[in-house]
Amino acid sequence: MLEKMTENEKAVRTIRSILQIFLIVIIFFVIQYLSGILQPFVLAGLAALIFQPLVYKLGEKKVPSYLSLPLVAVITLGVIAIIGVVIGDTAIEVSKESDFLMGRLTEKIETILLWVGSTFGVQTDVKHLFDELLKYVNFDSISSAFGSVSGVVGDATANFIMFGLFFVMILGGLKYYKDYIRFIAGSKEKGDIWLNEYEKINIKIIRYLSTKAFVSLMTGLFAYIVCLIFDVRFAVFWGFLTFVFNFIPSIGSILSTVVTGLFFLIQCETIGDFVVFTGLLALIQLVLGNVVEPKMMSSRLSLNTPTVIFGLFFWKFLWGPIGMMLSVPLFVIMRIILEHIPSLSFLGRMMGSSSEVNPRGRRAKKKAKNKLKTISECSTTSEENTDKETSEK
């Protein structure tokens, strides 16, 4: 009888595991299928979490919620709308300048080929070589890309309207999150426990999102200033592009630097200007991304490289470029939540960075190093005293 029960339990567990796998597959399919709705919803949720502390601060200043919520919503959406209009107009202007840009590109390629031939003594027919290179460039696709700017702007307008609606609803609903959590818990004691865990998770999420948004904003602002200094056309567009690409892990900063640098190459007169311009952009990315951001952000909010790469391709598959931009924030939020679930906390630790693997070992190693240094200093002092006493005798 016991053996039969054991076999039944094994069968139930197997069926349950299969159903769980099917459920995960279905969830991923739904996420991909409803991407048009879920993308602005997730963006609005992240934005609402960033501005949630501001609403609380206004409440502490005795500002009524019926004034603070519309005020924050209107200012936020107004700023985003202004940025969107500026970027949209710039994108349309870029599309109108496509002939000029392609003409400058051809001139630069010819100049570079002539320089290579004269420097290395390569005797080539520049015109023939250039014509061969043009065969590998699909100008039809480039023209269609420039021509589809208006369609992209139209899609962005529709997404902005959905984003605005979701942002207002989520920002307004966050005011009642305590009552909602207690209602779901079913009892006051259980609700207080859930509320305490939610507060811990929420503080970490807000800290991460605020830090990432601030660093990305500073990166885009400095890139915009560099573009102004070098008189790069459409400087606002390249600054905004740097801001957006900074959310894409690993390759985002490289892409923004390369794309902006190549555009400046079309415009600049000398290779030296191009090298200095690209070097400044790379320096901005290096300092803000590898020095400032790690100091502002706790290691508990970082991810290891395999997790970042997996998240990049995973969300790219589900949501395209928007998924690449949201991959790290979503995985960081996932990690924070997993660490507060005892049975799944090991998954959160697996996603952590290498600096968290053995913090005690590092502290012990540092302590031992300091101890050895102290012993060495004491030994040196003792030897000096002994020599001094010997010389006096």
132-160 average pLDDT score:
55
SS3 assignment, position 118: helix
277-291 average pLDDT score:
88
The answer to whether 77 touches 167, Cβ cutoff 8 Å, is yes
User: Which token pair is 270?
Assistant: 């000398």
Q: Look at the block and give the residue holding tokens 């023209």.
A: 143
Q: What is the secondary structure of 297-338 as a DSSP string?
A: S-GGG---HHHHHHHHHHHHHHHTHHHHHHHHHHHHHHHHHH
Q: How confident is residue 280, by pLDDT bands cut at 50, 70 and 90?
A: very high
The answer to whether 356 touches 299, Cβ cutoff 8 Å, is yes
Which of left, alpha, beta for 186 (phi over 0: left; psi -120 to 50: alpha)?
left
The answer to whether 83 touches 156, Cβ cutoff 8 Å, is no
The percentage of the chain sitting over the pLDDT mark of 90, rounded to a whole number, equals 5
Helix %, strand %, coil % of the chain (to 5): 90, 0, 10
More confident call, 155 vs 277: 277
SS3 assignment, position 200: helix
Local structure of residue 2 (DSSP, 8 states): H
Q: Please give the pLDDT value at position 364.
A: 45
Q: Please give the pLDDT value at position 219.
A: 92
314-324 average pLDDT score:
83
DSSP E strand boundaries for 164-315: none
Q: How confident is residue 116, by pLDDT bands cut at 50, 70 and 90?
A: low
295-313 average pLDDT score:
74
- Judge whether residue 370 has pLDDT over 60: no
Mutual angle of helices 2-33 and 305-319, in 10-degree steps? 60
The answer to whether 334 touches 345, Cβ cutoff 8 Å, is no
pLDDT in tens, 207-264: 777 888 888 899 999 999 999 999 888 888 888 888 888 887 777 888 888 888 888 8
Dihedral angle at the C-alpha atoms of 315, 318, 319, 323, nearest 10 degrees? 0
For residues 235 and 230, give the distance between their C-alpha atoms in angstroms, rounded to a whole number: 10
For the chain, the average pLDDT equals 75
Q: Please give the pLDDT value at position 82.
A: 82
pTM score, whole prediction: 0.68
Q: Please give the pLDDT value at position 346.
A: 78
Highest mean pLDDT among 35-49, 199-213, 214-228: 214-228
96-111 average pLDDT score:
70
- Judge whether residue 268 has pLDDT over 70: yes
Lowest mean pLDDT among 131-145, 246-260, 340-354: 131-145
17-23 average pLDDT score:
81
- Judge whether residue 187 has pLDDT over 90: no
Q: What is the secondary structure of 197-243 as a DSSP string?
A: HHHHHHHHHHHHHHHHHHHHHHHHHHHHHHHHHTT-TTHHHHHHHHH
Q: How confident is residue 149, by pLDDT bands cut at 50, 70 and 90?
A: very low
Lowest mean pLDDT among 127-136, 178-187, 189-198: 127-136
More confident call, 328 vs 119: 328
In one-letter notation, the amino acid at residue 168 is: V
The answer to whether 351 touches 304, Cβ cutoff 8 Å, is yes
For residues 32 and 51, give the distance between their C-alpha atoms in angstroms, rounded to a whole number: 28
